[in-house]
Structure 1
């Protein structure tokens, strides 16, 4: 498929992708668009002119909203129909309605440089999983030793916890260094102050479509058609706050201060060519077979290249490029998105349009493929060397982290873009407790 717009030959945002996002322009409020190369196609304009009708004729607009929720709620048949229609409208040899109307093109096609991106959804609930075996093994080894690295339940179910939806932010939003209780000395009382072990988590997230009714679990056969699309996720972590607070109920203030997501939602349909088998979940690989409700026909995994880059304040001042500190791949997830969603609802929990579910940190087997500074610096004992001679164990104020992703197979490229965030100094007060030194 060749679009009628000029795209760079290596663009990951061609007609095979068409990711959805929410954007605004000067003097015009937020609405829904799709990205094509370095352009944004305004779906609100196309809907107003009758070129697309996601909800069906006479059922009201979907793309004039400042979120994708209304479109997500329509389900996979509507998503497929709109995607097919857009590919036809944007092809060089497709329907002429948009291609041959200079006036319509002027209103409906906006340069990417002229838009402001917003959160793609109104996120009612956010769940973070723990689905990378190597990451779970690394962290377990650090704190419990290699013989007890994985907890007894890990190979039997997708471990997860409920996060905080209110602090999910779009890429480019600055992150204030969180403050909280820490106990750096096990033989002394806790102290209060800015986190000194601020970290990232390289994750892949997905948005739920129509969802399910309370009390009605989603079966595996339906799970794939319930997943609207994927974003990159940086689930920032304050490791020192987390260490002190997580027993016995798990992550809380060390995690809920910010979660960053990329603005473009890649449709699941665009990733179909990149589905791969993944690690066998049976005796052939020395693994226990999941219970029947979690068994999934192959292929389960996604072949998506992921990159973590760091730009320090000194690099920025010198005009240096961000330094790549890790490269990983979504195929390093043991539990698939479908398995995560099915397990989430197996007790009757209702998922709703726009709910965000993230994979947990994605780490490979080699140190250069670890998806967190906790692992990259091995709990702070192995500082990372940067090109200018500086080092890092955890993040400093002024550091900017860039996560990016792209699926590539031959000439086919599906881009995710970036999710970025810059660390700002804490503005906390002592809160009546001793400040951490």
Structure 2
């Protein structure tokens, strides 16, 4: 597979894109907290605005992506994100970057990321054979793991040592590198042909929703993902306040703690290529979700100096990264295997819509709960809520998936 030049170009582009995205996810909130002195409610609003496009656009983008060349979509969205963050960097250098500008940039980057994420998930199916999907996903998720190592650390260090505008500019550079790599893909994609009287967008959306709702595995993935993403969004909103304000960590220390997710995710990607085939997909999904989500219950117990708290946070994020990535790769392999080619974009969009559509509400909830009950109590409550995801999987037929992937479903007529 690695001898395929087009797959390597996709891999490099996706890695650069993820590095830019991971850096911006730390840079923009830290700029709001450390420079604009945003409170919990304002930080929750900033994160919610950046996540809102998932709820607003996913279904439409999924229906649209199925009829377009994914290379074109990824190239255009990379260019758009680079321009948006580049403009934000210039505004910051000139002293014009304020919270309303930051909100606009977060929304624009979030909207374009919806297009890119759905396109790259569909592109893998068009580039590799079906029996190579697990290895392909493992490679792509491994690159995302590497981005999680460098992105938060780079973003936090640049905000702390240099300035927020330079940190924002670093994300724009990575999106530019992704643009340059993906545009070199030469393989002509086999885009599913539309009939002479193609269905309208709402009909295509309904087809995608019905397909996912009608498949037991995909329906469970939707519900479990929704529970996880809602509470995880709340956790991260409070987490980004808790580390600098309650634990008094610097921007670089916050970046280091968050970056520990990366090596864990890299390990999780490697494990995903082996463990499901040995122990069964269902067992791996339930156990990995329980371990990865449960480790966040240790965070509210942390006190004391950075000499103690930073290594503890590194350990927590490493464990979370390992097992959450193991879940991500395994779930993606199940989804791509059971979904026919002409439904890939819509199936991914439906799962994104249901699974991540509640993240803006989760971010708002985290900010409001932190104001009402304090960051430490809020962290405990929201971290406990994340355990609803493995419970839902354990109570569903997905827990009984064996060592082989389920068969592909037929394309609805």
Q: Which has the higher contact order (CA 8 A, sep 6+)?
A: 2
More strand by share: 1
More helix by share: 2
TM-score (normalizing by structure 1): 0.26
Task: Tell which structure's C-alpha radius of gyration is larger.
Answer: 1
TM-score (normalizing by structure 2): 0.27
